[in-house]
A and B are shown apart, each in its own frame.
Chain A
Amino acid sequence: MFHKLDGAKLPLGLRLICSAAIAALTAVLIAIVILSGPAAPGLQAEVAAQLARSGVDNPVTAVLLNFRSYDTLLEVAVLLVVAVATMPAPGRRLRPALAPTGDMVLIGLIDLVVPVVVVVGAYLLWVGAYAPGGAFQAGALLAGAGVLVSITGRFQFSFGALPARAILALGLLTFTVTAAAVALQTGVFFQYPTAAAGVLILFIEAAATISIAATLVLLYGSLVPPAREQESGP
């Protein structure tokens, strides 16, 4: 599938022309950016003016989960599509992903680190309403804990099972259902009632965190070579 490119170098003249063209294009783009003056102020003033109605104090979370929540919904949907694409076939027999390790240092470290990571992930999720943090960061941290657990080989995640699939879909499901439910009250899809906005955002983010973490662990698990095949080689 991949071929060595060493033997097929471009002629020197062509390489010089290509690098000159790329350098010129880069210089022109940089010049345009510098000459076009200060960047437009953007929508910071509008976001700051409406922040009180968003239910959270962090402008980034307000934009992601309230003002532009449709974009975030689609991001969560993309993650679900990724999960479906890498998911193991239903009913496939579970094989040990890795031989269980006897490395006491690794096991001891993971016993210490994983609970801390889970607590920090929950903190990042909660603090997203006030300061930098949020569902994606918390989900990635939790996924890191999941990867750590799975490299010992003592535990493995079976994403062919029905509960695991429910967890993968939980984020998108909660997001869509909440968006539709608030539409019953306010009349507009994704228009949260101002009083309940903070709680609703935390609720959606919690569900999204779990799905994001599960999707990322699934991605890692789909890449790890099965231990049995490795040993059966000649």
Chain B
Amino acid sequence: MDSGFLIDLVLAAGVLILAWLSLVATNLFKAIVLFISLGLLVTVVWVRLGAVDVAIAEAAIGAGLTGALLLAAWRRLWSQRRPVRDASGGDDSGGDNVS
């Protein structure tokens, strides 16, 4: 078994595990960070597939900007909820669902 195949195997397993983790994470912030990590791993996958153009786009848009957009949206949710939460102690997590 050559090393290239082993790297591909680890990458494929990593992508699946990260995708699963980012879907089942109940904490929004954790889910976003896992999603960004997934984007970076997918970038490596594109490089392994020889699609360097797609890899650059994935790194810049998929991992970088989408991550920034998700974090901005998360902060917006959090700042809207904070006045309500302050009375009951409040927490610094992204929380789960917003009703």
- A residues neighboring B (CB under 8 Å): 1-4, 60, 124, 132-134, 136-137, 140-141, 143-144, 147, 216, 219-220, 223-225, 229-230, 233-234
Contact = CB atoms under 8 A, between A and B. Distances in A.
Nearest to A61: B53
A147 B65 contact: yes
A233 B83 contact: yes
Interface of B: 52-53, 55-57, 60-61, 64-65, 68-69, 72-73, 75-76, 79-80, 82-83, 86, 96-99
A2 B99 contact: yes
Contacts of A1: 98-99
A141 B58 CA distance: 11
A143 to B, nearest CB: 6
Q: Is the interface of A mostly helix, strand, loop or mixed?
A: helix
Given A144-B60, A219-B69, A234 B83 contact: yes
Contacts of A225: 75-76, 79-80
A216 B61 CA distance: 9
Contacts of B73: 223
Contacts of A230: 79
B99 A223 contact: no
A132 B72 contact: no
